[in-house]
Amino acid sequence: MSKRAAEFFAGIGLMRMGLDAEGWTTVWANDLDEKKWEMYRANFNDGACEFVLDDVHKVEGKDIPEIELATASFPCNDLSLAGARHGLAGTHSSAFWGFMDAIKGMGKRRPPLILLENVAGFLTSNDGNDFRDALLALNDLGYAVDVFIIDAVRFVPQSRQRLFVVGSKAKADRLREVPKLLLQSELRPPALADFIFMNPEIGWAIRELPSLPPSSMKLEDIIEDVPLNSELWWSRDRCEYLMNQMSDKHRAEAERMMAGSKWSYGTVFRRVRNGRSMGELRTDGIAGCLRTPRGGSGRQILFCAGKGEYRVRLLTPRECARLMGANRYKIDVSLNQALFGFGDAVCVPVIQWIARHYLNPLLEEMVDTPIPLPTTRKDVSYRKPPRSSKTKA
């Protein structure tokens, strides 16, 4: 059985890395960012995959090879709380419609499976209208849809909650027949289950999934052994400046760590609170969500303390790779470039879990009982809301 994938918004290739581990072959990839492509080709220079370095709006379906899966981790900038919430009409996240145009352009060669990944804010963007529009558009191209949320913390010591959509040629369900699968589960929490039940006009294909594995790794498990004389460690003045940015509560926690008999680890993000830059310390053994370093809050700081001392530095690229489950990823670029790459990526073991427990079994079932894509007139169309526009991805 062929398991060929096309990776839209490929970034540095972590979607591919997760799929590869579960028997998939990525035969085509697309992204607009040259620096991410530099990291991608350093890790996947096997000649088996065509990489199209261009705006997704310029991709034509006829140029995409035969595939069983198309993945799209399209830009989240306009969907997240950190952005202006312009949604799928925004400058970046409107790239979703470029992806949809490319899939539509494949005609009867459209793949049997689609996997979308984005921030959990996609669910509530524009009061849920963006999410509804995206799912209805998939329906119109012949895909019934399933949705679930996974936090990478179940696989790595990083809090990274992401929303996933699987589109398939499976027959759509009647919602009244599947309520037990949606009740208060970790994969479909109440807000997501409510969305499903409140939108019966969407063609759903809800699939029962196993429980996620228990989280076991802690921050200390991914820390590199950086020599004390390394320039990565901050100067005393810079460390004290960070301590002075902490509230009394966070500073007290830092001092508790310093008083410990052994070294312990936490992470710090800078946040603006009441017009003032503050350092917020997290000490539960879990890193905050990796982000791109577009602003000061995007760079996650490692706080090491114990035996009456403390030291501070940024997380290294290797530590970021480990937090994304990409332990063996080749890194030969600058810190900033690496942080941009990993901050925009998917968590590898999460994709492995989805492939193993969802995509692979579903594809096998579809091969056994093929369901043709519906066609009307020369081909199907889909509803693109008037407010969305093709702008630069």
- Residue 266 phi, psi dihedral angles, 5° rounding: -145, 170
385 within some domain: no
pLDDT given for residue 77 in this prediction: 52
Q: What is the mean pLDDT of residues 284-296?
A: 84
Q: The domain containing residue 278 runs over which residues? A: 225-315
Per-residue pLDDT tens for 157-170?
999 999 999 999 98
218 within some domain: no
**Pair 76, 30 in one domain:** yes
Report DSSP state, residue 355: I
pTM exceeds cut of 0.75: yes
Quick one: pLDDT band at residue 390, thresholds 50, 70, 90? Answer: very low
Strand-strand pairing, 276-282 and 301-306:
unpaired
**Lowest-pLDDT range, 90-94, 123-127, 176-180, 279-283?**
90-94
**Lowest-pLDDT range, 136-145, 269-278, 336-345?**
269-278
Which is more confidently placed, 321 or 274? 321
pLDDT given for residue 296 in this prediction: 53
CA distances from 266 to 151, 216, 310 (A): 19, 17, 11
Residues 6+ apart with CB under 8 A from 204: 144, 145, 146, 172, 173, 175, 178, 196
* Residue 262 reports pLDDT greater than 60: yes
307 within some domain: yes
Nearest-angstrom CA–CA distance, 101 and 90? 17
**Pair 100, 241 in one domain:** no
**Can you give the CATH number for the domain in which 116 is found?**
3.40.50.150
Q: Using only the alpha carbons of the chain, give its radius of gyration.
A: 22
Closest to 348 (Cα-Cα) out of 3, 12, 33, 51 = 12
**Pair 362, 290 in one domain:** no
**Pair 263, 197 in one domain:** no
Per-residue pLDDT tens for 27-68?
999 999 999 999 999 999 777 789 999 999 999 999 999 999
Q: Which helix (H) or strand (E) holds 5?
A: strand 4-8
373 within some domain: no
Per-residue pLDDT tens for 18-36?
999 999 999 999 999 999 9
| Burial environment of residue 321 by CB neighbours within 10 A (0 to 12, 13 to 18, 19 or more) | buried
**Pair 33, 176 in one domain:** yes
Percentage of the chain surpassing pLDDT 90? 72
Nearest-angstrom CA–CA distance, 347 and 55? 24
Asked if residues 196 and 206 have their Cβ atoms less than 8 Å apart, the reply is yes
**Pair 70, 187 in one domain:** yes
Which is more confidently placed, 84 or 14? 14
281 within some domain: yes
335 within some domain: no
Total structural domains in the chain? 2
289 within some domain: yes
Strand-strand pairing, 4-8 and 309-314:
unpaired
Nearest-angstrom CA–CA distance, 234 and 219? 20
Which residue type sits at 352?
Answer: Q
**Pair 133, 177 in one domain:** yes
Quick one: pLDDT band at residue 381, thresholds 50, 70, 90? Answer: confident
Helix residue spans in 245-354 (DSSP H)? 248-258, 317-323, 335-343, 348-354
pLDDT given for residue 370 in this prediction: 64
pLDDT given for residue 48 in this prediction: 78
Report DSSP state, residue 171: P
Question: Is residue 219 classed as helix, strand or coil in its secondary structure?
Answer: helix
DSSP string for residues in 363-377? HHHHHHS--PPP--T
Nearest-angstrom CA–CA distance, 75 and 121? 12
Euclidean distance between the first and final Cα of the chain, in Å?
34
**Pair 173, 310 in one domain:** no
Closest to 353 (Cα-Cα) out of 117, 96, 46 = 117
Quick one: pLDDT band at residue 271, thresholds 50, 70, 90? Answer: confident
Task: Return mean pLDDT, the chain.
Answer: 88
**Pair 31, 88 in one domain:** yes
**Pair 248, 151 in one domain:** no
Per-residue pLDDT tens for 123-145?
998 888 899 999 999 999 999 99
Q: Which helix (H) or strand (E) holds 148?
A: strand 144-151
Quick one: pLDDT band at residue 85, thresholds 50, 70, 90? Answer: very low
**Pair 207, 239 in one domain:** no
**Pair 207, 237 in one domain:** no
391 within some domain: no
How many beta carbons lie within 10 A of that of residue 177, not counting itself? 9
